[in-house]
Each structure stands twice: as structure tokens, then as C-alpha cells.
Structure 1
């Protein structure tokens, strides 16, 4: 809810703000923060009293230079009260008051410029508004900040994925170059964190550029940005105050547009089991993914992320396996798989139909206006389908999680996946990157051998770092061999009702207190020699509290308990580069704060027939039985076809009871290949809805080839590829369809064939109408390093022919197979057992003789 209190128009200086001899000055104040705006000889400057000296600001367009020659016209003031609720973050319920002033100017050729300034107790921000209608092209800003040269600085050398190492320097000594947001400076006893908010496809992202001294200027990602006016640029934000004010600030969210999603009940933060970091090949292994799912179900983790390498042939059934156990599946995608309207309109509904709960979208790697326009397209498309999102290889948070609450987290950090963890860097993030929004660091990783952190430090990261999806990144066996760590992880929330910095200094230590419901969590990490960490407990309500602490001991992790009260001091011995986690709950006589982890009860769903063959538009009679073998009870049970049909229901099922139904299902018109007709049982368990699904697999045969045919001209019944899609009449290329080169083997280009990247396969329908298959096989000439593959031909699952290992230097290898009587022809490529790098495999002139 936004409450706007508009004050009378002010046409003069703010009372108490004296005019300089050569110009005008105004202040906009809220609590301890006062922004100062100056107009001197037609040029604007902005600063924050006592922290940031006034520095030049302004904007240039192709129509007017509004960095000078400005004349003051008017000022108006209002108070903006922001009350809103987040789905993620350091504080779910937000209530902030901002003082806003709009200063209107005229400049070059009578062009208008409004400067909008907002100030709260946490800091100050400004934006430009070009109020004229019609097209506008911005060619740059003179926006800048003046920082005392000797001010300590924590800076991130700029890269478009924000994954460079942070540096500790001073404002003046920092090397000339570009730095990413946010940037932190200590000016006397006050901190200033520079950031930006409300960036979308109307504009471009920006960065700080430093040429020398203490001046840091804003530089856009593009030479120019174009939009339709009126145009409001992003907010230039300075969070100022003591370190607690900066760390706890929500100013970048407060300045962002309100949520565009009315119903956020489907947005569900939580812990995620993720296998890619600890075992890169595992996302391609459905058996291994089911083991992670089983682990997540046993420990109450609501998600498993299946990263790069998954295959459409097994993901739907894996999703069904997970959902029946109360676990939802997240899938990784390269952003180019969703960079066109056609791809989004095809891929997103398909993933939703599989039951996928959310997406990790990767490798955007740009702050350009074009890329922000892509964000503008993917965000409403995913929200409409209720698909949650994690942006990896992405820009840093700029208020997006307020506007689009289904964005659970963003990477924009040099996280654990870099396989080099340093305690000193870890203690910088809470005061910089994580201030502005969810940070997908992927913590708690013992598999990272190159680290100087202790076990307790690793566990504490799951509290110290805020992320709506907390991807715990080690293999699950490593958690099971550390039962005290796993016990703590199973209890930790990922969203918070309150956050308070208790102590810390960037690069040395952090101790945070976070509240979820009636429980507090205090966690600390250090980059110092062994010492005691102390935390005042003045934030606790009255009464007695049980404090359970997990910390480093002499021989591994140890757990300690004590009774505390408000005002006590918690003292925890911390090892060098160590950490701790303390759970605090109202003391009721229990020896632990732990809440029981109760897995979803095992159920069964059978369908008859499990498989069938039919033509498009035909019907299939299906019977289904849903059973709770033991345990329960479960409530609000419903059994029905996913595509619609009269459900059968039961208010309650107890152990040993079943629910059955029968339906006549119709095969979709136009279907080809394997089509699933799912039957779904849902029920309520401990306040959550559990989804159990089984499908009748119906094979819909396409027309068999009537004459000889190129394989690349036949419809695919199924395909998988090691990178990007299988290409028709092109080499493998990159992630997008159709981006390959001509199929070329040893200098000869071939107009027809298939381009694959091992491991890969394609299945086509022959319908027993063909007699032979021929192709020239080999590694495409585009490969610059040695690749090695094998080619295999299968008929109805039976091996028919193979090449053995072929390498980049081998000549093209003719491959033939007798396919008499074969209904399904499968062409498969493997990586020859040495990994898939450079394995671009061509089936040149692949052809079947039919008729």
C-alpha cells in the first residue's frame, strides 16, 4: 500500500538552506539523513550532508545537453509511505517513510528536466525524469559521487556477471577502471553504500567508473539508450549510516516499483539440494538425481535443482517421483533457450506441464538495455505460469525481488562454485552484495578443498547469507557424515521476519541475528585468529530462552545448550576463520529447539493400462487406484486425470485404505510420438498439498516414410543433446536452434544430415517401411581441439551398427545398417568415455531407403 501526502508547491529555497552567491541550494531531510542539491552556474550537484560532498549530476540526450545551462523553475514536496510484503529477504514486512522532493528545471532549447530526490533514515537517492512525451535517446549521464580519497573502500571490479573477487582499498588508491554495484566506503565513522534501483528495459544498468582521486562517475552499459517519454531513469542510491544501518537497509527495495503479482501464495522459498558443484556429471544421471530427491524428502528440504545435463526423456518421470515425496524440482536453462517469444511460448508451458516448480536461468552476462528488455519479457511469462526463478550469470539485485516476488534469488557473486573459499571474502558479502537482495552463493561445501574456513563457518553461511532459495551445494553423503551440521541445516529457515547486525567489520567478522516466527537465529563467521564472539541478546522478548549453539570443537562440530534471558550476552568460542550458529526458542522445558522433520507418507498410484498405442483423437480407457499403505491419516484426497474429468474424492484416508476411479481419456489431436496422459492424486499433509502423478504412456505413430527420406526431414519422436538442440542440416553450434555451421567432414560440406554434441540421440519413426540406413559419420571440422565420439544405430532398442571411437583427425566413416522391420530408429552418439568436450558429431547425408 502506498500513501502519498502531497505538500504545497514550493517556489523558493527550503527554509534554512542559504543561497550561495553564484547559485541555489536545497536540502531534503529525513531523520539523520539530509540530501543537498545545488545549482551553480547552471550545473547541478548532489551530496549527503556530512558524508558525501556535493558532486556533479546531469543527463544528456540527443535533443539536449541537460548537464549545464539549467534554470530553476519549481519545487514540490511530498511524503511517501511504503508498506509492502516481500516473499524473500531480510525482513518480510516492510514499512518505510521517504521524503520526496521534485525539482524542475529548463535547459538547452527549453528542454525540461525534473530531478526527483527521496530521502529516508537509511539514505538518499535521486533520479532524472524527462517529462516530455515522444521518443528520447539518452547518450550519457554526468552523475557522480565525491568520496574522500583516504576513505576505506570495498569494491568489486566490474564484470557483467559480478563474479570478480572483491578488493579492500581506499577511494583514491583504487586502480582506475570500472566497479560494480554495490560499492561500500567508510567516511569517518559513517558508511556509504552506493547502488541503483528500478532498472528495467526502459534504460540500461550502470556501473561506477574511477579515473583517479575520489571521484566515481556513473557509466551506462550502452553508449545510448532509447525509450518513449516520459522517461524516469533508475534511482542513484546512497545508503548511509553506521554499519548496522547499511547492513539492515531495504532502501533499494523501497525505491523499486510495487509487486506486479497480486497472488504470491505459490511462491515458496526453501532449502535446495544441488548436485552440480560436487559432481558435475550428476545432472545427466536420473538415478543419481533420485538419490538427491530421496535425501531431500527424508530431511524436509522442499527442492532439488537439476542443473545442466538433464534430459527431457526422463525429467517428467523424475518430477513425478519427487512430487510424490513432497519435493519439487527446479531445472537449469541457458537463457538463450528462452530468448525469443516462440521459445518462451513453447518451452515454458512444456516445463510447467511436467510439474517443474521453478527455473535457474543462466549466462545472461550483460547490463545492456537489450538484456533488461529480455528480463521484462521473461519475468511476466514465468509469473503467468507460476514458475519461480533464480537468475544466475546475472546482474546484481536492483529491487527486482520486490517488483517480481517470484524471483527467489540471483547469483551476481563469486560463490562456492569457484572452488576457492576465503573467510576474509565471506565476511565482506553481508555488508555489500547481500545488502541489496538474495545472494545465491551456494554455501556449506566441504567438497571445496581450497578453502580456509572451518566446518562451523560453512554451516553459519546458511544463516549469514540471505537467499530465498538456499542451494546447499555439497553431495548429500557429506551432509550425512556430519549429522550435527545436517541437524542444524534441517531447522534453518531461508526467509526472515527481522534481521539485525550485532557486530562485525568487512573482511574480519560478521555476527547477525535473524528472526523467523518465534525463533531467533544468531550466526557468526570470522576471518581472524581464534577468539570469542560475543552477542548481546537485548533483542529478545522477556522470559527464558533456550540457546542451542553449533560451533567448532577440538575434534569436529559440537553442540552446547544454555538458558538465557533478554539482556544476557552470548559468548561463543570461535576457531580461526571459524563460525557458529545459535538457535534461540522460548524455553518450555524441552532440551532442544528442533522441530520434528516428518517426511511425506509413502503412497502408491497405479494406472491400467500403463502404456497403449493409439491414433490422434482416439480414446483410451484408464483405471487408477491411489493407496496409503500405512501411516496417515491424509485428508482432502482427490483423484482425477490431469487434463480434466470427474474426480473421485475422500475426506480422509487411513493406513491400508485406497481410492479408485476410471475414465475414458482422449489422445490430443495432432499428437505425434510418446504422449503422456497423467492421472493425479492430491492430498493435504501437515498443511501442505502433496501431488502424486502417474501417466499412461500412449504412443501415437506418425506416418511411415513412403519413399526414401533424409533423416533430418523426419519428425523426431525424441531427442537429447550434450549441448543445445540436435541440429537439422547444420553442425551442433551453440545453445540456440539453427545456429550451427554447414556440416563439414575433412573439408567436404554436406547439405543434409544431423549435427549433435555427445552424449546425444535422436529417434525417428520408420514403421517397418524401410530396408536400410546410410550415413557418413565423424567429428565436424569446426572442432579446434581433439574430440572423440562413437556412433551407434539402434532399431527398436536393438544394436544394429556402430563405428567404434572416431577422433577429430579420422576420416569420415561410412556407416550402414539393415533396418528391415524396424519401427523406431535411434541414432546415438557417446563421448567415448573421455568427457564431452569438443565432441561435435556429424551424421552427414543420413538417409533411409524405404517404399
Structure 2
């Protein structure tokens, strides 16, 4: 990623003393003059407008020290021209080249307080920000930033909630209810569109929203009553994108105003299609067998990712990751943001996921535009980037240029997507002109599982092109896609990264037809919320020569595919069903009957390690041999086989079907580990332009000292643990996501100092080494659960059931559980959700103790 910045600086006349008069007005014109911003100072008050579109409206900022919205005196103006060239990893256009005219207006207020107003204008719109240039801490108590919209202007507005998931509505600027509205907001003023947005919001400040008090007046209100920061302070940009609907839809101004990328090497950032099972079958993320089936489907169709949503378990994810990577599929994992809200959690959880081979994370439920939450974004973004973990923010704020600054952010939700289980064509046709303008949108499209929808099959498929998202999470069951072979065939060909985007036609709430280019191919796609009819596509965007146009659309009995030869300037007419859609692939015509490119799954390979498992002491060495085989097919190239921990690799320039590569190493077990440690052996190779990772591990068990005398289970090291929510707690009840945040273990009013707090389903395994004879505990649902919870409890010795309970519910008496553990090496304590779901299943093993030799 590179940035080219050129600047020509012009300083306006600066008088010997500050100018102090009324009625001052300045203009800042875009290079080429398409857009002109106007700044006014009258009676000490500032105003900002966009020529012929938005009349001047009051602006300013108030701090605890000074009111910089009134009593201002002009000091100076300086101007320069900026040209920036940069490359994105996602978005409507990868290569960006923008030229902006910038003017900085300096003012003083009461007591000599200083304010700079920085204005930037491009061919796509205008923006301003406040700069408080003094050093030292500053407390902002509000802005007077506002907009005056003609009351009769059409308006497409999003009622504000901090997750931006309310339905959009069409109204007028004056008729909109008195309420708060989220960014971006779209207005049609005469024949010109104006979009209001923000850019460059981070932990220095808070997110804003629009407050409508009536008429055509809209004001910016911050999420926090006060914002504190170190000076000098630059606030976010207040952005107005203006022009025809194509200018607004294709605009990159929000990204252009954002800080440059903080990541130099983005080669590891890889957009792509994602198979995601949660929407179509909510329980599937907890089922490793089902997730393996999704991996197999993704591998067959060369989808690069599978997202495992809420419900995954650390006991099986690492092995599933290995299974997937050997087939050319990477795993993404869902996390609640509170699992990463402390430095200790980030330093523990993220490296663990990386060590498993996870490629990225979906982080959910931030649900706030506060300064504190933006400071959390400031912390999680470099932490994930350092580990080369890609990110999808769900339950998140709306994009404000984040994907330019942190290009490993592949997408954000901030939309009422298909997971709401209600799809309307009229709403779908608003998103391309509003929410998706400012950044990648994780709508989770192409869902037949949503039964409450008025869209056609072709409409659903077209969403994969009409909506831009670096990770396109396709949200139905894989069997559903396989039962729609024409849809799957098209989905397998659609890219998610675009070199160019053009709006061909449309109007918010009625229709949207876009053309996007990837390499030498174009994709034209449209969605409609109108009655059946034909749509005409002007192919003037094509280069010269003959092109094959291959269209998928709704037919009388399902999806149909049609082909024709076209040239630049032709009109392609596509029949649309009511609320329908279409996807047209356009490729240079070479005589082929299709634009499809071959779908070639990664070759099946076999990696064996010997021994597969062993037992030894800390610091000991283990002799390991590995053989990597390509049974058939190929060839594969740049083959490398080596221990993950280091060691001399064995290599081969290529392997053909039936050939193998072998190596032997002596590996040392860490001297500070107990329990099971894995010593992975990794084979990598190149296939069709990408590196495939195949991994197997020798599982080495390092037993801890066996307990002696009377021992509390909560004092012993855990060989393994899993928990339905957060960690298993020692001597506390189950809390939230952090260790130690539970309450005292309490059963029917009795507080127990020792024991384990779990959340079903969960289990803990400890080492007895055959040294103990008996186990005893009191079990039940902790008193902290006021809504009925339920669980069953089971004691296992070396995998064999020794004792257990029936279903215990909230308020039931504590039940004693005892077991003879003579000769048992591994003791496992397990709780289940009793078959009715895991909500409120806070299960206590109170006073859990052992009698040992």
C-alpha cells in the first residue's frame, strides 16, 4: 500500500493585526470547480455551506474552557492542494487517486482561545474539521455543527441506534420525525444529491449522529456529553458528498479523508467468499461434524473461508482448522467484544487463535459510538494487525474510513441484514446508495432460508455483486446452494474485490443497477423493487472488441441463463420479474460459450507423523518422523516440510501424483509445560497461485505431580477445560468473559469457599495419576441465576462414567456427588445443558475435593 502526497501551499493575506469585522465570506473550490464550499463569519459566528446545494448553516465547537461557536475573530487563511494516491485491499475501487483543495482558517475567541477550521473540497464534495491547536488536555462539551436542508427535499434516513440496524425510511427533510438519525444520511435537493457522513473517528473523539428538531434543520450531536483528549486536537471530518446519484454512489471521499494505512505489508489480507451457517441453522457452530461439512463444501467450490459463529469450542477448533487449511480453506471465528476488552484478554486470546491457525475474527456487540468504545477500536486494531488476523466488526459502528487506515478490516455490519429474517426489496434497493457508499457492508446475502422475503431468487444472487464487502458471507445452508446449481455456479465465479465501480441506473427504494470490474472482466448486476418489466443496460463502459454477456435471471420455472455477443455501446435488455434481479458476467469473447473459469479444488494430500502421541517429562526430547504424500493429481510446487517450532526443512521443487517427501527431527518439549503439548509438523506448497498449509502434530502428554492428601480440585492445574460462556472459574461462580469475575459459589443460601463455577456445556479434566481413591462434591445451579437454569452433572475417570445426576434446576437443593477414583489417571467433571439450551445454566461443583495417597 502506497500513498503519494503533493501539496502546494498558498497563504492568504495576514494583516498586521487580527481582522475584526462582520460579513466575511470565503470560498474553497474543488480542483476543476465542480464543488465550492463557503465559509462565513458574521457577528463572530461561523457558518459552512456547499454552493448551490446546502445553504450556510452554523458551525462551531464548545470546550470546557471556551465557547468557540461565538465571538470569533478571523486571523489568517492558508491554502494548499493535496493529491493522494493509495491502494485499498477492499472497496468499490482498489486504486485511488484524489485531488483536494484545502484551506485552513484560523480564528481566536474569548480569552485568546484558538480555533482552526480546516476545509477540504474535491470533485465529490466538501468536508470540514475543527482543530484546537493548543497543547494540553481539552474537554469538548459539544459542537454547533449543523446543516440546513430544504424541507421539501427527499430524504433517506436511518433512525439512530448504536448498531445501525434499524430500517431505513424515505421521507422529506422537513417531514422526518423529530429524532436522531445515523450517518450517512442522503437527501435529494432539486436534481442534486447530498450525503452527510463522518470520516476519521477514533479514540480522540466520539462518534456523532444527526439530531432533527423540525423543519430542515439538522445538528450534529456527539455520543458523549463530554469528550476529553490531549491537545492539539483534530476532530473528525464533517463530510458532505454532492452531485448526481452516480457521483454519490461511486464516491470514495470518506476514505480519501481518512488517515493513511497503518499497515505497510498487506499481502496477508485476503478478501473472499465465506460460508456461514449460523443464520440457516443456529446450533451448527457448536457442532464440529457439521462445520467440517461446511469446510468440505467450501473446498469443493473454492470458497476461501468458513466462519464459525457463536458456539464453537476450543476443544475441537484447532483440529478443524488443520482439516480446513489442508483443503485450502481458512477458518474465521466469532467473538463477543467483551472477550477482548482488556489488555490481558487481547494478549491471551488473540495469540491463542493465531497459534491454532485461525485467519480472522468476527467481533460482535460493540453497540456504542462512545469515545471509550472508539478507544477500544484503537486497541484491538493494532493488536489484530500485528498477529495478521483479519477482522469483521459486527454489532458495530458505521464505516468512517476505517478500511483505509486499517486495511485488514474486511467488512462491518451496521446494517439491517438478512440475519433479521425479514427481507424487503424496497429496503435492499436503498442500501447501495446509502450505507454501502461509506464502506464494506456485511449484509449476509443470498438467503433462501429467510422465508419472510419478497425478493426473487435472482434478486438474492445479485446482492453478491450489488453489495460490496471484502468478506461476502453467504448465509444459507450449503445444501441449499447445491440445490440451486445455477445460482451456485454464478456465486463461484463472482469476485469480491473490484478495480472499478459504476452506477448504471437506479433510485433508492426502487432499483439499483451497478457495473463492477475485476481484472479484464465486468460484472453488471441489478436488483428491483418494482413490478415486472425490462431493464436496459447501456454497455458504453466496455472497452472495444467483442464481449460475451452471460446473464442469470428469473425465469418462469426458476433461474435461467442466457448468453449473447455484445460490443461497447450496445444496449443489453434483461427481463426482470417483480422484485427481481439479474447478474451478467462480461468477458472478452474468445469463442468460448461461457465466462466461467475452472473451479479446481486443492489436491488431496496426506501428512503422517510418528509417533502420533507419547508421554514424557518436561524438557525431554522426542524423535519425530513425518511423511507428506500427494496420492494423485498435481503437480504441486515449492513443497516444504518442517517442524513449526523450527528445524531444518526438507524441500522439493515439485511433487507429482504418487510422490512423497519425508523428514526426521529431534524435538524438545518445553521445560515449563504440563498437560498436553503439541509439536506440529507443517507441509506447505503452492497451488494455483496460493500457498496451502497442511499440519499434523505429535501430542505429547507431560503429567503434573499427582495430588496428595486431601486436595481441592480447584487448586489443581487443568489439563483441559471448556465452558459454555467465559472461562471455568476457580472458587467463584461462572461470571462473564474474564477469569475471576464471578461471585462466591452459593447453593440454596450456603456460600462455599472452594469449588468450580461452570456454564453448561462445560468440562474440566485434572490429573490424578492413579494416586487418589475418592471424589466428593455438592452440585447444583448457583443462586445467582434468577431465571430457571438446568444442568446435569457427570464424573468420568479415564473417559469412563463414574457418577452423575439427573437434571438439576434453579432452586433445587444441592445434591452430593461421590465417586470411587481408585486407579484413575485423568478425572473429568462434566456438565450438560440438560437438552433445553444453555441459557442461565450456571453449574457449581461446590467443595469439590479428593482423597489421595
The TM-score range, normalised by the shorter chain, is over 0.9
SS at match of 2:838: coil
* Structure 1 residues 164-217: Cα deviation after superposition (integer angstroms, max 9, x where no partner): 111111111111121111111111111111110001111111111111111111
Match of 2:27 in 1: 27
Map 1:757-768 to 2 at 5 A: 757-768=759-770
Deviation of the 1:838 alpha carbon: 2.1
The answer on whether the counterparts of 1:11 and 1:73 sit within 8 Å (CA) in structure 2 is no
Aligned residues: 846
Moved more, 748-757 or 530-539: 748-757
Of 731, 734, 737, 1:732 maps to 734
Q: Which sections of structure 2, spanning at least 5 residues, go unmatched?
A: none
Deviation of the 1:766 alpha carbon: 1.4
Deviation of the 1:751 alpha carbon: 2.2
Map 1:219-618 to 2 at 5 A: 219-618=221-620
Map 1:123-138 to 2 at 5 A: 123-138=125-140
SS at match of 1:175: coil
SS at match of 1:372: helix
* Structure 1 residues 261-301: Cα deviation after superposition (integer angstroms, max 9, x where no partner): 11111100000001111111111111111100000000010
Deviation of the 1:67 alpha carbon: 0.7
Of 103, 122, 125, 1:120 maps to 122
Alpha-carbon distance in 2 for matches of 1:473, 1:494: 15
Match of 1:680 in 2: 682
* Structure 1 residues 195-250: Cα deviation after superposition (integer angstroms, max 9, x where no partner): 10001111111111111111111111111111111110000001111110000000
Moved more, 175-184 or 750-759: 750-759
Deviation of the 1:776 alpha carbon: 1.2
Deviation of the 1:20 alpha carbon: 13
Alpha-carbon distance in 2 for matches of 1:21, 1:453: 60
Alpha-carbon distance in 2 for matches of 1:239, 1:8: 25
SS at match of 2:11: coil
The answer on whether the counterparts of 1:2 and 1:80 sit within 8 Å (CA) in structure 2 is no
SS at match of 1:157: coil
The answer on whether the counterparts of 2:269 and 2:407 sit within 8 Å (CA) in structure 1 is yes
Alpha-carbon distance in 2 for matches of 1:146, 1:12: 31
The answer on whether the counterparts of 1:774 and 1:846 sit within 8 Å (CA) in structure 2 is yes
The answer on whether the counterparts of 2:345 and 2:738 sit within 8 Å (CA) in structure 1 is no
SS at match of 2:851: strand
Deviation of the 1:748 alpha carbon: 2.0
Alpha-carbon distance in 2 for matches of 1:373, 1:121: 32
Match of 1:211 in 2: 213
Alpha-carbon distance in 2 for matches of 1:849, 1:488: 64
Alpha-carbon distance in 1 for matches of 2:412, 2:650: 42
The answer on whether the counterparts of 1:4 and 1:78 sit within 8 Å (CA) in structure 2 is no
Match of 1:847 in 2: 849
The answer on whether the counterparts of 1:339 and 1:374 sit within 8 Å (CA) in structure 2 is yes
Match of 1:16 in 2: none
Alpha-carbon distance in 2 for matches of 1:3, 1:665: 51
Deviation of the 1:338 alpha carbon: 1.1
Alpha-carbon distance in 2 for matches of 1:549, 1:2: 40
Match of 2:199 in 1: 197
Deviation of the 1:747 alpha carbon: 2.1
The answer on whether the counterparts of 2:22 and 2:44 sit within 8 Å (CA) in structure 1 is no
Alpha-carbon distance in 2 for matches of 1:248, 1:410: 18
SS at match of 1:413: coil
Deviation of the 1:617 alpha carbon: 1.0
Map 1:615-654 to 2 at 5 A: 615-654=617-656
SS at match of 1:834: coil
Deviation of the 1:810 alpha carbon: 2.0
SS at match of 1:846: strand
Alpha-carbon distance in 1 for matches of 2:781, 2:260: 52
Alpha-carbon distance in 1 for matches of 2:57, 2:709: 76
The answer on whether the counterparts of 2:789 and 2:840 sit within 8 Å (CA) in structure 1 is yes
Match of 1:164 in 2: 166
Alpha-carbon distance in 1 for matches of 2:152, 2:796: 71
The answer on whether the counterparts of 2:14 and 2:75 sit within 8 Å (CA) in structure 1 is no
Q: Which sections of structure 1, spanning at least 5 residues, go unmatched?
A: 14-18
Deviation of the 1:733 alpha carbon: 2.3
The answer on whether the counterparts of 1:641 and 1:677 sit within 8 Å (CA) in structure 2 is yes
SS at match of 1:597: coil
Deviation of the 1:90 alpha carbon: 0.3
Normalized against structure 1, the TM-score is what?
A: 0.98
SS at match of 2:182: strand
Alpha-carbon distance in 2 for matches of 1:729, 1:366: 33
Alpha-carbon distance in 2 for matches of 1:765, 1:366: 44
Map 1:97-112 to 2 at 5 A: 97-112=99-114
SS at match of 2:735: coil
Of 71, 84, 87, 2:86 maps to 84
- Deviating runs (4+, > 4 A) in structure 1? none
Deviation of the 1:412 alpha carbon: 0.7
Alpha-carbon distance in 1 for matches of 2:571, 2:242: 28
Alpha-carbon distance in 2 for matches of 1:149, 1:526: 28
Alpha-carbon distance in 2 for matches of 1:787, 1:277: 25
| RMSD of equivalent CA atoms | 1.3
Alpha-carbon distance in 2 for matches of 1:784, 1:167: 40
Alpha-carbon distance in 2 for matches of 1:750, 1:177: 51
* Structure 1 residues 104-154: Cα deviation after superposition (integer angstroms, max 9, x where no partner): 000021011000000001000000001111111111110111111111111
SS at match of 1:26: strand
Deviation of the 1:706 alpha carbon: 1.9
The answer on whether the counterparts of 1:297 and 1:326 sit within 8 Å (CA) in structure 2 is yes
Alpha-carbon distance in 1 for matches of 2:710, 2:173: 72
Alpha-carbon distance in 1 for matches of 2:366, 2:743: 23
Deviation of the 1:749 alpha carbon: 2.2
SS at match of 1:705: coil
Alpha-carbon distance in 1 for matches of 2:452, 2:749: 45
* Structure 1 residues 721-747: Cα deviation after superposition (integer angstroms, max 9, x where no partner): 112221222222223322222222222
SS at match of 1:8: strand
Alpha-carbon distance in 2 for matches of 1:714, 1:20: 76
Deviation of the 1:774 alpha carbon: 1.2
Alpha-carbon distance in 2 for matches of 1:156, 1:96: 29
Alpha-carbon distance in 1 for matches of 2:256, 2:620: 55
Alpha-carbon distance in 2 for matches of 1:425, 1:714: 56
Alpha-carbon distance in 2 for matches of 1:438, 1:815: 53
* Structure 1 residues 27-52: Cα deviation after superposition (integer angstroms, max 9, x where no partner): 11113111110000000000101111
Of 66, 75, 100, 1:73 maps to 75
SS at match of 1:118: strand
Alpha-carbon distance in 2 for matches of 1:22, 1:39: 6
Deviation of the 1:21 alpha carbon: 8.9
Alpha-carbon distance in 2 for matches of 1:214, 1:710: 69
The answer on whether the counterparts of 1:608 and 1:624 sit within 8 Å (CA) in structure 2 is yes
Alpha-carbon distance in 2 for matches of 1:371, 1:20: 41
Of 777, 780, 804, 2:779 maps to 777
